[in-house]
Amino acid sequence: MSAETSPIRPDVPPAGRTHDDDPRLACAARQPLPTEASAREFVRLLRPRGLGSQAPRDLTSAVLMRFPAGTSPAEVERVARATALLARAGVPVPRTYAVAAEAGWIVQEDLGDLTLAAAVASAAGVSATVTSAAGDAPQLDVGAAYDEALALLADIAPLSLDTSPTPALGAARLRDELTLFVRTALPHLDAGRPTAGALHLPPPLAPTLASALAPTAAPPAGDTPAPPSVDRALARSLDAELDRLVGDCAARPTETCHRDYHARNLLLAGRVRIIDHQDALRGPRGYDRASLAYDPYVDLPDERRDTLAGRPDDLWPVAVQRLCKAIGTYASKGDAWREWIAPAARQARRLLLVHDVPGHGGGCKGIEAGVLADALARLAAAEPAA
């Protein structure tokens, strides 16, 4: 269920695996689908014929979600339960056709391949229209799709459900996510270091920044370590900035959040449909809206992003935390994900500059001129190593 899929091909198993002989998965052919960041496998089943009474009799395709080997049946059931809870609440998630917790799979409705992110790229802007994956379906207005996606958040926010096995997005978890950002993304701010996956940064680079933020890393050969007092001062400044940012986020009222509400997780199948929804949980009010508005996977004008945010003066601390968290995740996943670091950092830096100043209602005064802003500016200017 992605914008990029492999050609339909005969029933050939993925490398290193054999097909299940479960008759419920019988079909005419299978089409492997991209997995994004998930450890699960997704396969399109063409003309499935063993799914039972929960599936339409004339079903032409469905999507198999196969969990990694060793996944507990309880985890499979949790994901299925999350889908059922959201569906009962009227949230447009995929319909479930079959669940085999012991075998480690779920079969769901096939919503096609057209994500909102792909539609934006195809339309070259939110005011244009694109034709849906079906080809003969009416054209889809991308701006209207964003409006619908925002309206769906109003349905999700008041729900009293928590489908995630992890703690809510309170102060401790929000701070832990920023620690991941520090440990995985900021050590790459070593200009000229010829290591795989490093970021090529334009000079000048504050010479003490990387060592301050990654004090356990050995300096590159030939470099003179900065005085420890300078490193400690930078690290303390950064910690104070991140603590203020988290405090502002944690002080907000909470609501139920999808947790990863961006244009790649919104499919256009007659209407906006939501995927990757299994970890919904309580978090700061506006978290999902900030995630959608400042999504680095799409190229939108800054003015349009701020319009989607609604009240960016109120929402910016959550948006900056979310973007820094995303940068840390991209850096931790390796080279294939690093292309998204620069656009995420640019938005986070822009929000700091615009909103963390007197008269804009920001609660974290001074961050716009601090270590975090400096690091984000350099990450925004960086290019992934070839």
**Residue 123 belongs to a domain:** no
- Co-location of 187 and 90 in the same domain: no
- Co-location of 210 and 328 in the same domain: yes
Asked if the model's pLDDT at residue 204 lies above 70, the reply is: no
Higher pLDDT, 35 or 205: 35
- Its sign, for the CA torsion 385, 342, 213, 190, is positive
On the 0-12 / 13-18 / 19+ scale of CB atoms within 10 A, 43 is: buried
pLDDT > 70 in the chain, percent: 73
Count of helices and strands (H, E) across the chain: 11, 13
Asked if the model's pLDDT at residue 288 lies above 70, the reply is: yes
Query: What was the pLDDT predicted at 269?
Result: 93
CATH code, 49: 3.30.200
Domain boundary among 109, 138, 162: 109
- Report CA dihedral (344, 345, 346, 349) to the nearest 10 degrees: 130
Domain boundary among 59, 93, 109: 109
Question: CA 142, CA 128: separation in Å to the nearest integer?
Answer: 6
- Which of 49-53, 199-203, 324-328 has the highest mean predicted lDDT (pLDDT)? 324-328
Query: What was the pLDDT predicted at 369?
Result: 60
Asked if the model's pLDDT at residue 175 lies above 60, the reply is: yes
- Co-location of 45 and 194 in the same domain: no
Instruction: Give the domain range for residue 41.
Output: 23-109
CATH code, 181: 3.90.1200
Average pLDDT over residues 197-226: 44
Q: pLDDT tens, 309-367? A: 987 678 999 999 999 999 999 999 888 888 999 999 999 999 988 865 444 444 455 56
Question: CA 218, CA 193: separation in Å to the nearest integer?
Answer: 12
Q: Which of 311, 383, 321 is nearest to 352 (CA)?
A: 321
Query: What was the pLDDT predicted at 235?
Result: 78
Query: What was the pLDDT predicted at 242?
Result: 93
Q: pLDDT tens, 143-173? A: 999 999 999 999 999 998 767 777 889 999 9
Query: What was the pLDDT predicted at 311?
Result: 76
- Co-location of 176 and 83 in the same domain: no
pTM: 0.81
**Residue 362 belongs to a domain:** yes
**Residue 181 belongs to a domain:** yes
- Which of 14-18, 235-239, 358-362 has the highest mean predicted lDDT (pLDDT)? 235-239
Higher pLDDT, 383 or 47: 47
Question: CA 320, CA 316: separation in Å to the nearest integer?
Answer: 6
Domain boundary among 89, 109, 129: 109
On the 0-12 / 13-18 / 19+ scale of CB atoms within 10 A, 81 is: middle
How many folded domains does the chain comprise?
A: 2
Query: What was the pLDDT predicted at 21?
Result: 77
Q: Whole-number mean pLDDT of the chain?
A: 80
**Residue 99 belongs to a domain:** yes
Q: pLDDT tens, 76-123? A: 999 999 999 999 999 999 999 999 999 999 999 999 999 999 999 986
Query: What was the pLDDT predicted at 140?
Result: 66
Task: Please tell me the least confidently modeled range out of 90-99, 135-144, 199-208.
Answer: 199-208
